[in-house]
Amino acid sequence: MEIYETQPERTDLPLVVMPVIIESMIEPFEKNFELLKDIARVRMYKDFTLDEDTIVERCAEADVIMVIGFHCADSILDRLNAKCYAFGGTGVASYIDLDKAKERGIRVCNVVHYGDHAVAEHTIALLMELARQVGKLDRQVKTGDWDGADGYELYGKKLGIIGLGGIGQTVARIAGALGMNVSAWNSHVPEQVFADLNITPVNDMNELIAGSDVVSIHMPLLDSTKGIVTAENLEALKPGTMFINTARAEIIEPGALLARLQRGDIPAALDVFEHEPLTADDPLCSIPGIILTPHTAWRTDGAYVGITRQVVQSVAAFCKGEDFNVVV
């Protein structure tokens, strides 16, 4: 196993361990480790595994752990003594138990606004796939089938956005350029945002959902947003309404989305799930007309630049007794 290390002789410095890494993120991380010179030593394992025992073994001596791509379950927290977890994403609550971390005096950091364009573009890619079925058509042609399929024109259709932060606003801009009519749930969003982006505010979530041809979720996962989209809200989906979630599955009441989709009248595209990684025998995989991607909306070259920089900055701040992107 190849291991990348900085200042290994400086045993007087805190040890920062990255137990697994996505290959395409190695180079951007290496470029940022200079920020930790004379502050901390780094040990980065240049492979990717979800095996919990391997992760724990690699992090046994760590003072700080960089969490990239794996869920830091309670069973991992309980077996380690690290005092800071630097998470390479925004919605850290679905990867680390924040209450447990707080009880144990563990700092948890995240990264912010690194992937507004990355996630928004993936959202639009999913929307286009639902509307024009490019993947299906590609498979048809390659097997000698020239039947094709009817497309769904997005121009003039109504997009309802739940969550109008950086990602939601970026989706709104792109959808507006496509000629869609954009509305959004009016939840703690400044009036000027709606005015600047020509978005119609809707106070009632049921009304927003019922009046949309496409519904897209873009809320962050917080205590206040967990399960905020209820089974009752999903009842407002008209048959044929396209439903997209690139935020977090936990935004939706547990089990509610599966129950709604199993009726078979809602084309949906999902990048996030209640249990990850999704297994082939998951009920979602057997529903016709559903597009599933493996939580990859955030994974772009541009997003990696922001992620790696902020993760290293949060580690440097912790080691220097400062604050940067602290969640708990």
Catalytic residues: 248, 276, 295
Fill in the DSSP letter of residue 258: H
Burial-class residue 12 by CB neighbours within 10 Å (0-12, 13-18, 19+): exposed
Query: Would you say 325 and 109 are in contact if contact means Cβ atoms under 8 Å apart?
Result: yes
Q: In what order do the strands lie in the sheet with 181-185?
A: 200-202, 181-185, 158-162, 214-217, 242-245, 268-270, 290-292
Q: Comparing C-alpha atoms, which of 138, 108, 173, 134 is closest to residue 315?
A: 108
Fill in the DSSP letter of residue 37: T
User: Under 8 Å CB-to-CB from 145, ≥6 apart: which residues?
Assistant: none
**φ, ψ dihedrals at 220, nearest 5°:** -75, 155
User: DSSP letter string over 123-137?
Assistant: HHHHHHHHHH-HHHH
175 CB neighbour count, 10 Å cutoff: 25
Q: In what order do the strands lie in the sheet with 107-109?
A: 3-6, 41-45, 15-18, 64-67, 84-87, 107-109
In single-letter form, the type of residue at position 115 comes to G
CA 9 to CA 172: how far, in whole Å?
51
